[in-house]
Amino acid sequence: MKYLVIGLGNIGPEYELTRHNIGFLVLDKIADQQKVDFSLERHAYKSEFKYKGRSIHLIKPTTYMNLSGKAVAYWMQELKIPKENILVVVDDLALPFGTLRMRPKGSAAGHNGLKNIEQLCGGQEYPRLRFGIGNEFGKGQQVDFVLSRFSSEEFKELPMVMDRAGEMILSFCTAGIAQTMTQYNQ
């Protein structure tokens, strides 16, 4: 069985530790734990490892957030992975910081990366892991908020929440989405 896990984010040092890049950060953490490296390939930084008989492919699109669908569509086709075996890790303003929620499908909820995946991969019917980043911003400050770095308090909690996200991803690939949602959704 093959799985494709997509961490959403933006490439470049100015985005590295921002809220919008939590997908990249979670995949970096998994790669460290699995002792694998990313290499620059077509439309993405890519890595892969074996886990409990599964081939798990990780990608961090190099297309920038708003064009993430291009990388997702390419790698789904290249690796011949069906939609139900992909998992998109994405930041979510609607969830309090540190809340993790896996869903089998859903709307883009205004997230441009998810909108582009919907357009290029045929709809909303794909699993995603939503990582709550909170919504501590004033009117008209949403873009600045998602492109800003985590607060010092959030940085202290981040490793623990990212470990939990990693556990959820591995559970998705081995136990399936229903069991993972039952066990982990908060």
Contact 3, 30 (CB under 8 A): no
Nearest to 101 by CA among 50, 172, 34: 172
Annotated catalytic residue within 20, 43, 57, 111: 20
Rounded Cα distance, 116 and 25, in Å: 21
The dihedral through the CA atoms of 79, 80, 81, 83 has a sign that is positive
Q: Quick: pLDDT tens for 27-60.
A: 999 999 999 999 999 999 999 999 999 999 999 9
| 53 C-beta neighbours (distance < 10 Å), count | 8
> Which domains are delineated in the chain?
2-184 (3.40.50.1470)
Confidence band of 63 (pLDDT split at 50, 70, 90)? very high
pTM confidence score? 0.95
Based on the residue annotation, tell me whether 111 is a catalytic residue of this protein.
no
Confidence band of 144 (pLDDT split at 50, 70, 90)? confident
